[in-house]
Each structure stands twice: as C-alpha cells, then as structure tokens.
Amino acid sequence: MNKNFSEIFSLPNLISYFRLFLVPVYLYLFLNAKSDSDYYIAAFVVLVSFFSDLIDGIIARRYNMITDFGKILDPIADKITQVALALSITFRYPSVQVLLIALIIKELILGLSGLYMLKRGLKMNGAHIHGKISTVILNTTMFILLTFPTISTAVVNILVAVCIIAMATSLILYLRLYSGMLKEEV
C-alpha cells in the first residue's frame, strides 16, 4: 500500500475525518432544536466528538500511527469543532462572542507562528500540557453551556473568563517556547 495513502487513511486520521463530519451534524441539530431533548441530542454528538478525539490520540500513540498529516488534521478538527461550538452557543449566550473572538485570535496567532517556525525549518512537537489543559477547559465550558441552558449570566461570564485566561496563558507559553526555539537556532 502507498505510504501517502496509508498515512491519509490511517485509523486515527479516519477518526479525525469522522469528527469533522460531526460538525455539520451538530450544527444542524443545534440550529433546528426546538426542545431540551433536541439540545441534549446535539450535546451527545459533541460528546461523541470529544470522546473520538481522545481515542484517536490514544490509538495513534499506542500503535505508532502518528503521521505528519495527522499532526495537522487533528488540531484542525479540534479548532473547527471549537469554533462551531462557540459560534452556535453565542445564539444562546451573547457573552460567548468574546470567547469566540479570543479563540479565533489565539488560533490565528499560533497558526501563523507555527507556519513561520516551519518555514524556518523548526519542527513543532505537538501540543504541550498547557495547550491540552486549555482545550479541556474550553471543551468542558462549551459542553456545560450546551447542556445547561438556564445557567445564569454571571456563571456564563465566569466560565468565559476562565476560558480566556487559560487560552491567553497557553498562547503566552507557546510564544515563549517559539521564541526560545528561534534563539537556539541562531
């Protein structure tokens, strides 16, 4: 079998494709929900997406199926899912717009920084613990906001603030890491 084919269609990458497929399914369910049970079905789809994200990483590491393509595909699936969740939840909680904007800015900065690093020939070694913690906080917040539609505005604002602090901290730590890599290069 062709190496490119086996990389593109490895089991972890197939799971990432599945997660990408779940984004429009979730959006359709959320945007057409008419009752609490409809929102719970949308939340279940999100839970399946989060669980499959965990599984694809475990499979990739355990069975040595980590590919360069998967290192790009998996975070793209993460970010598309996160943006879709934040965007849809802004319809219910307008204050989540701030979180959505912060998420987009963070990802643009990291994406452009990562491209610059690659252009310089410096390889990224995947997500660091602070990035994973930030993702868990964001995903947990999105899931809470999705499944508990009567949360007070004060609680929503606190959750949004916690997410923004976690994302800002992670962004700063990644930028420090990139800066250190560039200094070592010289």
* Token digits of residue 124: 């990224």
Please, is 120 exposed, middle or buried when counting C-beta atoms within 10 Å of its C-beta (0-12, 13-18, 19+)?
exposed
pLDDT at res. 68: 81
Domain topology for 3-185: Four Helix Bundle (Hemerythrin (Met), subunit A) (1.20.120)
Residue type, position 63, single letter: Y
pLDDT above 80 (res 1): no
Show the 3-state SS of 78-110: HHHHHHHHHHHHCCCCCCHHHHHHHHHHHHHHH
Chain segment 103-133, per-residue pLDDT in tens:
999 999 998 998 898 888 887 777 789 999 9
Chain segment 44-87, per-residue pLDDT in tens:
999 999 999 999 989 999 999 988 888 889 989 999 999 999 99
pLDDT band at 142 (very low <50, low <70, confident <90, very high): very high
Chain segment 80-104, per-residue pLDDT in tens:
999 999 999 999 999 999 999 999 9
Structural domain boundaries in the chain: 3-185
Specify the 3-state DSSP secondary structure of 34: coil
Instruction: For residue 15, give every residue at least 6 positions away whose Cβ sits within 8 Å of its Cβ, in sequence order, or none.
Output: 52, 53, 55, 56, 59
pLDDT above 80 (res 186): no
